A and B are shown apart, each in its own frame.
Chain A
Amino acid sequence: MIRTRALLVALVVALGMGALASPAAASSGGQGVKGDKIVDLRGKDTGGHYPTVALAVKDNSFNPQNVRISIGVTVKWTNKGRIAHNILPADKKQDFGKKFGVDTSKFGPGATYSFTFNAPGTYGYYCSLHGAPNTAMFGNIIVGDGKAGASGTAAAKKLRGGTLRVPKDFKTVQAAVDSAKPGALVLVAPGVYHEAVTVSGEHKNIVIRGESRATTILDGDFSEEPGHENGFKVLANGVAIENMTARNFKSNGFYWTGVKGYRGSYLTSIRAGDYGIYSFDAVNGQFDHDYGSGSPDAGFYIGQCYPCNALMIDDEAEWNGLGYSGTNAGGSLYIVRSSFHNNRAGIVPNSGTGEKNYPQHGATIIGNTVYSNNNGATSAIDIAQIATGNGILLAGGNDNVAQRNLVYDHDIGGVAAIPLPEKLINPKNPNAVNFDAKNNKILDNVVKDSRQFDLGIVSTINSATDAGGNCASGNTFTTSMPADIEKVAPCTGTAGAPFKTDIPRFAGLLARSTPPSADYKTVKLPDPPASALVDMPNAKKAKVRPATNEPSIKVDYASIKVPTAPQQ
């Protein structure tokens, strides 16, 4: 009964429309699609945030009926008729990459439906009210060469190895990533790409590389659209991203989550609304030769992992709330030979109940240059405002080591182990915890020009006389809290005098007023320094190295010396 009625409708429509639904193959591209000649819309999309082509839905046809588009382009259907229609896949078994189609109830007159085609293929569709597959009200979207989908099955999503070039082979980075199989290189030519890229689980062990770090740019345009918040959001293991810039993203520049194996090399993040370069609940990683600027939270963030087995090396962070933040992250976690300057605060591993695995413990900070982190002009979250004026703060964590760093020019402290009293900071949070700092070591640093103290230890807000196992030895410094810090809390041997720190002074510093946050979208940032303009060696031809064995830079930590001050 239903079929008969549909057929009747189809016949009426076909007659009314002048028999547009001719069964003759009219394809010029040899794809064998039925219906009108294929209209080639490649190069005729909108460009912009997501390249889009518009199709009109009328009573009762799709116009144009058959179109060819570039890979990665979004098709937007607008119902310009006077009645409701729907859009359904002609072959229910065909893999469109995700659920395709729109129900009649959501596609009345004036309604729109958009779908992004990220894999080459021929995608047939129809309206079940006014047509049937390849009959009456139907259409085809031919993506790229149309080949992968020619068989009309899941082959539409065939993955490729080798080098996938953007925009030569794929219009967008996302389309290339969606076609990349393990071991593939997605090589992105210079240009500004207004897109946000997700690397889903099946695209593991790929490398995404810009040909030129400073001019291969992903731009988020501060988009509020769901799913567009991050430059890269990586959920696949072993993915390396190299030699490019992400800017103006609402949340994060480069983000790996829940993965084993990750690497970000020669990356630049500017104006990310949360974090610049960010791993979360991820292990076996490396951030090297990266630059992060203009994030209200942290330029670099490694969160919720133990053991993290991660390395940050030869990185630079400036004009962020925090240069580095690492909540609840530790265990084979090294931050070395990097530069943190002109942030609100420099390097701040910390504990927090906002994520799992607290308290933080086991980060090692060696051979970094940390200076002038007093910058009240940045955008900054609350914690960064509170931490303003500090170089290295071991905040509410345990078993951390700060060793052989050069730390200078800070309004408050150079290197300090302090508690992180969440109950004070978040009085309305019923789950807040006052985290103590315990067993942290401050060793062999060169610390100068701190307005309050070069070195500091406060283990707990509950006791001025408990050093909590925190200690300092071998540092070059002038002032400390408590005074004579290496005598009252030495890392080796016995203390020469009882430990007594100054808790009211610490609380006063915690409670002092600091400049409010600037807007991360508009705050004036310095031009990226020379270090952020350095390309990876031989970007076009360097070996493809997925992040399967990170950290891949092997460091003899014992050999790293205290840095010398950069030329001002």
Chain B
Amino acid sequence: MRTRALAFAAAGWLALAPIGCGSSSGTVSRRPEKTNPTTTVPIAAPGADGTVLVVVQDNDFTPQHLRVPEGTTVRWFNQGFSPHRIAPADPGQDFHGVGGVSFGTPADRFHERESYRFTFTTAGTYDYYCPIHGLPHARMFASVEVTRV
């Protein structure tokens, strides 16, 4: 499927090639070692689709610490090459999903260019991580701080 899609894409590109487009850019520097959330994290505003975006890459979450008001839908977008997974750092914590829906991606994982959405209804701090590539509070982990409105 993907290969066929690529064939069309390539054909399209051949037609456009003389116009030219940007080529490889500079190096992306490494972020400093991860820190705990602080109150300096600004409250994130939703994008055009009404959700607040967290980019999932190999192998981290950006932003790592997010602050959003109650009622916000957060969308995680997997921009990496690897499948990832999103799970509560403490499986006993209630994330207060709408209608009691539990937090986290399903067992068949979360593949390249897929999105996962979750609406936070209740103020609190919600720690999560990728069980494939991190531990609850090491390497590929992150948090959402939900503020009262």
| A201 at the B interface (CB under 8 A) | yes
Q: A235 and B30: CB pair below 8 A?
A: no
**Which residues in B have their C-beta under 8 angstroms from that of A354?**
57-58, 79-82, 112
Q: B10 and A510: CB pair below 8 A?
A: yes
**In the complex, chain B residues 60-92 whose Cβ is within 8 Å of any chain A Cβ:** 79-83, 85, 87, 90, 92
**Which residues in A have their C-beta under 8 angstroms from that of B3?**
382, 385-386, 512-514, 516
Q: Answer whether A435 and B13 are a contact pair too, CB < 8 Å, given A226-B85, A385-B2.
A: no
| B40 at the A interface (CB under 8 A) | no
Q: B132 and A251: CB pair below 8 A?
A: yes
**Which residues in B have their C-beta under 8 angstroms from that of A419?**
23
Q: A102 and B92: CB pair below 8 A?
A: yes
| A355 at the B interface (CB under 8 A) | yes
**Which residues in B have their C-beta under 8 angstroms from that of A144?**
none
**Which residues in A have their C-beta under 8 angstroms from that of B107?**
224-225
Per-position binary interface string of chain A over residues 508-521, scored 1 when its CB falls under 8 Å from any chain B CB and 0 otherwise: 10111110100000
Question: How many chain A residues touch the partner (CB < 8 A)?
Answer: 71
Q: A381 and B113: CB pair below 8 A?
A: no
**Cα–Cα distance between A381 and B1 once the two chains are bound (Å):** 12
**Which residues in A have their C-beta under 8 angstroms from that of B41?**
none
Q: B87 and A513: CB pair below 8 A?
A: no
Q: How far is the CB of B104 from chain A (nearest CB, A)?
A: 8
**Which residues in A have their C-beta under 8 angstroms from that of B9?**
424-425, 427, 511
Q: B7 and A229: CB pair below 8 A?
A: no
Give B78's nearest chain A residue, CB to CB: A354
Q: B113 and A426: CB pair below 8 A?
A: yes
Q: How many A-B contacts if CB must be within 8 Å? A: 147
Q: B27 and A280: CB pair below 8 A?
A: no
Return the contact of B17 from the options A235, A382, A461 (Cβ within 8 A). Answer: A461
Q: A327 and B81: CB pair below 8 A?
A: yes
Q: A359 and B24: CB pair below 8 A?
A: yes
**In the complex, chain A residues 313-371 whose Cβ is within 8 Å of any chain B Cβ:** 327, 351-359
**In the complex, chain A residues 419-445 whose Cβ is within 8 Å of any chain B Cβ:** 419, 421, 423-429, 431, 433-436
| A66 at the B interface (CB under 8 A) | no
**Cα–Cα distance between A136 and B92 once the two chains are bound (Å):** 26
| B42 at the A interface (CB under 8 A) | no
**In the complex, chain B residues 11-45 whose Cβ is within 8 Å of any chain A Cβ:** 11, 13-14, 17, 20-25, 27-31
| A200 at the B interface (CB under 8 A) | yes
**Cα–Cα distance between A396 and B25 once the two chains are bound (Å):** 11
Q: How far is the CB of A508 from chain B (nearest CB, A)?
A: 8
**Which residues in B have their C-beta under 8 angstroms from that of A396?**
24
**Which residues in B have their C-beta under 8 angstroms from that of A503?**
17
| A230 at the B interface (CB under 8 A) | yes
Among B4, B14, B82, B134, the most chain A Cβ lie within 10 Å of the Cβ of B82
**Which residues in B have their C-beta under 8 angstroms from that of A359?**
24, 27
**Cα–Cα distance between A270 and B131 once the two chains are bound (Å):** 21
Q: How far is the CB of B81 from chain A (nearest CB, A)?
A: 4
**Cα–Cα distance between A226 and B131 once the two chains are bound (Å):** 6
**Which residues in A have their C-beta under 8 angstroms from that of B51?**
none
Q: How far is the CB of A469 from chain B (nearest CB, A)?
A: 13
**In the complex, chain A residues 295-310 whose Cβ is within 8 Å of any chain B Cβ:** 297, 303-304
Q: B28 and A357: CB pair below 8 A?
A: yes
**Which residues in B have their C-beta under 8 angstroms from that of A233?**
133
Give A514's nearest chain B residue, CB to CB: B3
| B6 at the A interface (CB under 8 A) | yes
| A192 at the B interface (CB under 8 A) | no
Give A504's nearest chain B residue, CB to CB: B14
Q: A235 and B20: CB pair below 8 A?
A: no
**Cα–Cα distance between A347 and B79 once the two chains are bound (Å):** 23
**Which residues in A have their C-beta under 8 angstroms from that of B87?**
226
**Cα–Cα distance between A230 and B134 once the two chains are bound (Å):** 11
| B59 at the A interface (CB under 8 A) | yes
**Cα–Cα distance between A225 and B91 once the two chains are bound (Å):** 13
| A257 at the B interface (CB under 8 A) | yes
**Which residues in B have their C-beta under 8 angstroms from that of A99?**
90, 92
Among B23, B58, B113, the most chain A Cβ lie within 10 Å of the Cβ of B23
**Which residues in B have their C-beta under 8 angstroms from that of A462?**
17, 20-21, 23
| B98 at the A interface (CB under 8 A) | no
**Cα–Cα distance between A281 and B112 once the two chains are bound (Å):** 19
**Cα–Cα distance between A94 and B92 once the two chains are bound (Å):** 20
| A474 at the B interface (CB under 8 A) | no
| B101 at the A interface (CB under 8 A) | no
Known: A351-B24, A383-B81, A503-B17. 6 other contacts (CB 8 A): A224-B108, A281-B59, A354-B81, A355-B80, A427-B5, A507-B10
Chain A residues with CB under 8 Å of chain B are: 99, 102-103, 106, 198, 200-201, 224-227, 229-230, 233, 235, 250-252, 255, 257-258, 273-274, 280-281, 297, 303-304, 327, 351-359, 381-383, 385-386, 396, 419, 421, 423-429, 431, 433-436, 460-462, 503-504, 507-508, 510-514, 516
**What are some 7 contacts across the A-B interface (CB < 8 A)?**
A354-B112, A357-B30, A358-B24, A385-B3, A386-B3, A419-B23, A423-B13
